[in-house]
Amino acid sequence: MPTIQMATDDDVARFYGGIQFNTRWVAKSMRKGRLVAGMGGLLEVEPGLWIGFLEVPEGERRPSIYRHVIEMLDAAKEAGAVKIKTWCDHSIPRAEAMMVKLGFSPTDETIDDKVVWAWVHSQG
């Protein structure tokens, strides 16, 4: 069974083939021993705007991942995120339902032919 923990710069480099994030970010890695098998989190692309990512191997997609997603969203919000953008992989069962449950809505924007979903902080 894999373990999920706060990601390090080394985890990011291992998972993404040497890439280093050069801005603020929060993420968790899914490890199987020394192997970084999955990664999910958020990356600030401009002040207040963060991009979410979640890459979990098909065989490791479980409902328990949801609590880790919530934790990373909360961390980004605490760090100043007022808008979060991501995309929804419709080939994953229940992915769209999870996006809606998290408070994301589809937009008119696309990236690589994928609809961008956005969460925007409500101004109280």
- Greater confidence (1 vs 30) lies with 30
Number of C-alpha atoms within 13 angstroms, CB side, residue 4? 21
- Greater confidence (6 vs 114) lies with 6
pLDDT tens sequence across 44-71: 999 999 999 999 999 898 888 999 999 9
Domain ranges of the chain: 3-120
Task: Report the candidate in 69, 74, 72 with the shortest Cα–Cα distance to residue 88.
Answer: 69
Burial of 96: CB neighbours in 10 Å, binned 0-12, 13-18, 19+: middle
pLDDT tens sequence across 82-119: 999 999 988 888 899 999 999 999 999 998 888 999 99
pLDDT tens sequence across 71-82: 999 999 999 999
What class, spelled out in words, does domain 3-120 have in CATH?
alpha beta
Residue 71: what pLDDT?
Answer: 96
